[in-house]
Amino acid sequence: MTEHDPAESQWHHWPRCWYPAARADGFAPGQIRSGHIAGRQWVLYRAADGTFRAADAFCPHMGAHLKAACVAGQALRCGLHGCLIEPQQNPRISDGLPAIGEGCRLPAQGWPCAERFGLVWLHPPLLPGQTAPPLPFADNGHLRLTASRIIPADWRAMICNGFDLSHMAIVHQRTPEGEPVFDHTAEGGIRMRFSTRILPKGGFSSWLMQRLSGGRIELAHTCNGSSIMVESRVGRFATSGIFALLPQDPPDTPPEHRRTLAFASIGIPPSATLPRLQLYLARFLYLAFLKKDFAIVENMRLKLDGADDPAVLQAARYQSTLESL
Ligand code: FES
Ligand SMILES: [Fe+2]
């Protein structure tokens, strides 16, 4: 354990999993985004046919960063010498490069990339013969609205917070009822089912939840890698929220200085009455709930050896079983 990160030996900073990279909404064909996962740089672009593709960020010719490239059909045209860069799962880069000239085609290391829940997900490149794990959650076909924001917090503290039942009363003015029940999903995540009762004095959003639910909410929280899915039943209203986290800093950054790019994707069943209205209402309630969490986990230095909440311990145990990148 290093002195700056008391949770390092219990919870990987970069588990092997799918990570959210962008919102699909507003990401037009021809646009390029860039970032890194575990220090390995990626570029993500929307090709001319509307599909997303991703590759290592540096041109295989002389290493120009491809965030300055242009999308050309399904490929990227490097800005330095004009080669067309084509992401492939197993590019035969060891065969050497073809004759270089404007418009020549160069294979590049592609990244597994998928669009789901209105978000674009990336997995680091696979070795020959490896297959990507399933995406974190099964698609429930909900209508969705997305949001994203940088939070000055360690993603591990944010996931713990999503499972910590003992903060519910003080931060959210809710009290869990009975014992939570845990199981594993087909995609490999850990799921907690529980119910809560709404307490008075939680502000407007709690008052509204109280009116909608009659005071009781049925919940399932599933953690898979750095993402959580919350499924809730409030009276006759069902919702699902995906909260997917992309760490921004190297693991030697002190936890209290880490930042996380947080994506939210809020959904309701398409069969709901007045679906647009319900969807905006669900998004308002989820974001109001999360605002209370973000304020409290900011600059947290996560420490797990003193944790006694059974749900936090289950989440930490699950995380410790994951491979590290
Ligand atoms: S560096 Fe990209 S084509 Fe030369
Ligand atoms: Fe919370």
Q: What is the pLDDT of residues 192-207, one digit of tens each?
A: 999 998 877 767 767 7
Cβ of 78 below 6 Å from ligand 1: yes
How confident is residue 118, by pLDDT bands cut at 50, 70 and 90? very high
Largest CA distance in the chain: 72
Q: Specify the amino acid at residue 318.
A: Y
Ligand nearest the Cα atom of residue 176: 2
Instruction: Calculate the alpha carbon distances from 202 to 154, 215, 240, 289 in Å.
Output: 26, 12, 21, 10
Q: Specify the amino acid at residue 249.
A: D
pLDDT at 95 over 70: no
How confident is residue 10, by pLDDT bands cut at 50, 70 and 90? confident
Percent of the chain with pLDDT strictly greater than 70: 97
Mean pLDDT, all residues of the chain: 92
Q: How far, in Å, CA of 209 to CA of 177, rounded?
A: 17
- How many whole angstroms from 322 Cα to the centroid of ligand 2? 24
pLDDT at 100 over 70: yes
Q: How far, in Å, CA of 33 to CA of 153, rounded?
A: 23
pLDDT at 92 over 90: no
| pLDDT for position 19 | 98
Domain range annotation of the chain? 22-122, 143-321
- How many whole angstroms from 31 Cα to the centroid of ligand 1? 19
CATH entry 3.40.50.300 includes domain 143-321: no
Cβ of 85 below 6 Å from ligand 1: no
Q: Specify the amino acid at residue 19.
A: Y
| pLDDT for position 9 | 84
| pLDDT for position 1 | 46
Identify which of 230, 237, 240 has the alpha carbon closest to the alpha carbon of residue 216.
237
> Residues 312, 230, 228, CA angle at the centre, nearest 5°?
60
Collect residues with CB below 5 Å from ion ligand 2.
Answer: 161, 293
Q: What is the pTM of this model?
A: 0.93
User: Using an 8 Å Cβ cutoff, are 192 and 314 in contact?
Assistant: yes
Token couple for 57: 């960020």
Cβ of 80 below 6 Å from ligand 1: yes
pLDDT at 17 over 80: yes
How confident is residue 222, by pLDDT bands cut at 50, 70 and 90? very high
**Kind plus residue range of the DSSP H or E element containing 77:** strand 75-77
Q: In this structure, which CATH number among 2.60.120.10, 1.10.260.30, 2.102.10.10, 3.90.1170.50 belongs to the domain 22-122?
A: 2.102.10.10
Q: How many residues does the chain have?
A: 325
Ligand 1 atom closest to the Cα of residue 78 is 2
Q: How far, in Å, CA of 85 to CA of 212, rounded?
A: 53
User: Using an 8 Å Cβ cutoff, are 176 and 183 in contact?
Assistant: no
pLDDT in tens, 248-278: 998 889 999 999 999 999 999 999 999 999 9
